[in-house]
Amino acid sequence: MTSGEERPASSGSLSEAKTLGRANGEQQDLSSETERRPPRRRPTLFARGHGIGGMQWRLFATLSETAGQSEVDAGIDGSATLREAFDALLEAHPELEAEVLDDEEELYDHVRLLVDGSDPFQTADGWATTLDSDAELALFPPVSGG
């Protein structure tokens, strides 16, 4: 193609997507490389089998700093309610109370609590949610940034 000719519009075909143009004009076919790669799997935050086993609390950001650890055994044998597990966490780490509870001893609105990746106040029975013995519980403080 000369400098005076117009370039044809790209059709966006798969074969075009599999070809990489280089500065020196050579083309490299990437179709065999991309077809051999397995699909990327994102790690799951709430995957079973992590930690020391049993019911676990995962603490994030300033909460993990305050408690001095990011994973805490819930200290509950067998099943329990969310409230029982939460009270056990605060009993083991009373320093967290000021960061997660308001003056009326209710969870601050800006603190997120998840059970196996879901908000129990939206998808289950809130504090009365019955937990499995291997549930993963998570507390997130407000996070900002950009």
Chain segment 50-72, per-residue pLDDT in tens:
334 578 999 999 999 999 999 99
Please answer whether residues 110 and 142 qualify as being in contact, where contact means their C-beta atoms are separated by less than 8 angstroms. yes
- Tell whether pTM > 0.85: no
Please answer whether residues 19 and 30 qualify as being in contact, where contact means their C-beta atoms are separated by less than 8 angstroms. yes
Comparing 13-17, 42-46, 53-57, 138-142, the range with the smallest average pLDDT is: 42-46
Instruction: Give the DSSP letter of residue 107.
Output: B
CATH superfamily of 56-140: Beta-grasp domain (3.10.20.30)
Q: Which residue, chain included where needed, has tokens 């603490």?
A: 59
Domain ranges for the chain, please list them.
56-140
User: For 117-132, how does the pLDDT look when each residue is reduced to its tens digit (9 = 90+)?
Assistant: 999 999 999 999 999 9
* CA distances in angstroms from 117 to 5, 51, 70, 130, listed in the order given: 56, 16, 16, 15
pLDDT exceeds cutoff 50 at 10: no
Of the two residues 134 and 38, the one the predictor is more confident about is 134
